[in-house]
Amino acid sequence: MKKFRKIMVNDITYKWLFCDNKLDCRNSPILLIVNEAFPKKYLKLEFSIASPYMLNCGLPAIYQGDRTVINLNRPKLILLIIQYCICHEDDILWKRHNMIDGISLLQKMGFEISQTYLE
């Protein structure tokens, strides 16, 4: 069983967990981000890609003109996602039953992902 990891953003502690979405029998991995002070306020992002394991080892992408990899086990990327979601709280609902398209969110953040990897 995977454990939540903690990260501080703007003096607020968040817990996050990246795992397979086995609850609904889909192969899409999910990322859960929970505000530790308000556990009912959290993000649930689903990543529909052709090879879900690539989010563990590195999905090739372009970010701000540079080649990079998207690895959802890296705290730096989780920090960027949380900061983006905080800045766009009017558009992104931090709700229990709201599933967010993770690939779309990364693209809005400026990541360019080849269609080869998308479902």
Task: Please name the helix (run of DSSP H) or strand (run of DSSP E) that holds residue 69, with its range, or none.
Answer: strand 66-70
- Quote the longest CA-to-CA distance of the chain: 39
Q: For residue 68, what pLDDT is reported? A: 93
Structure tokens given for 102: 């993770």
Distance between CA 32 and CA 51 in Å, rounded? 19
Nearest to 81 by CA among 101, 58, 51: 101
Q: What is the pLDDT of residues 61-118, one digit of tens each?
A: 999 999 999 998 899 999 999 999 999 988 887 776 778 999 999 999 999 998 877 7
Judged by DSSP in three states, 105 sits in helix
First to last CA, the chain: 27
Q: What is the pLDDT of residues 28-62, one digit of tens each?
A: 788 999 999 988 888 999 988 867 667 777 889 99
pLDDT at 20 exceeding the cut of 80: no
Question: pLDDT band at residue 1, thresholds of 50, 70 and 90?
Answer: low
Indicate the pTM of the whole model. 0.86
pLDDT at 6 exceeding the cut of 60: yes
Q: For residue 23, what pLDDT is reported? A: 56
- For 15-45, b where at least 16 C-beta lie within 10 A, e where not — what string? bbebeebeeeeeebbbbebbbeeeeeebbbb
Q: For residue 25, what pLDDT is reported? A: 44
